Amino acid sequence: WRGRGGTASFMGSEGGPWVCLAHLAVRRLRARHLAAAAETSLTKSARRRSTDNAAAMRGAAKMDTAKSRAHSRLHWVKPRMAVEVKMTDEELAGRWYGGIVREGVNAEGAVCLRYDDLIEDGGSRIVETAVFADIRPKPPAPRQGWSKQLVEGSLVNLRFDDAWWPAVIVELIDGDIFSVRFADHEEAPRPCSLADLRPMWEFDAAEPASERAWTMI
């Protein structure tokens, strides 16, 4: 040590013990900060992986649930069965097209269907495999005398352009000739015969083989 003015103090030359201790303390503190930062980063990464895994599991569970619901909803679908499919494409929305089931419901909840009246450019009937939002058996024939209940505003299906369209009765013109308009299109009413009309049916898949499966709207 060296005193100046009668005061004693510890002094170290440059790089002396006190400076070395200070540098060592700084390095230790920095190492602790780096270790803490690394641990925080690993924790965040683990949390992200956990969150991603949980999201993937939820997505897979939802997909499995959707498939299970599709199978449950379509338990009645059998090969060679006559069915109808309701279109959801913007240009075809609301129309029911007939077809024949080629294969039953697959593992994805999809049905292979050959359409009756949708034709490819080559002339063959279109075959499609899809998860249909609305598919049902071919509806039963109307009960005898059902047309006597038709009045202005009655909901029916109109056979037009190879499909069954939702339509509304405007008036009875004469005998079995009606004036109808499309329910979802702003077009002028058109005349049609009773042969091109049928009830608007609602299907309950819970009892597909029962007469109660069909309700006339």
More confident residue, 7 or 57: 57
Closest listed residue to residue 105, CA positions, set 154, 69, 141: 69
Farthest CA pair distance, the chain: 132
Indicate the helix (H) or strand (E) that contains 214.
strand 214-216
Summarize pLDDT for 149-187 with one digit per residue, the tens: 999 999 999 999 999 999 999 999 998 999 999 998 888
Summarize pLDDT for 128-141 with one digit per residue, the tens: 998 888 899 999 99
Contact criterion met (CB below 8 Å) for 87 and 93: yes
Helices (H) and strands (E) in the chain, counts: 1, 14
Query: How large is the average pLDDT for residues 106-118?
Result: 92
Report field, pTM of the whole predicted structure over 0.75: no
Summarize pLDDT for 52-107 with one digit per residue, the tens: 666 656 655 454 555 555 566 788 999 999 999 998 887 788 899 999 999 988 88
Paired with 165 in beta bridges are 158
**At residue 17, what is the residue type?**
P
* 16 SS3 class: coil
More confident residue, 105 or 29: 105
* 155 SS3 class: strand
Contact criterion met (CB below 8 Å) for 216 and 199: yes
3-state SS of 22-57 is HHHHHHHHHHHHHHHHHHHHHHHHHHHHHHHHHHHH
Token digits of residue 125: 């009937």
CA gap 46, 40 in Å, rounded: 10
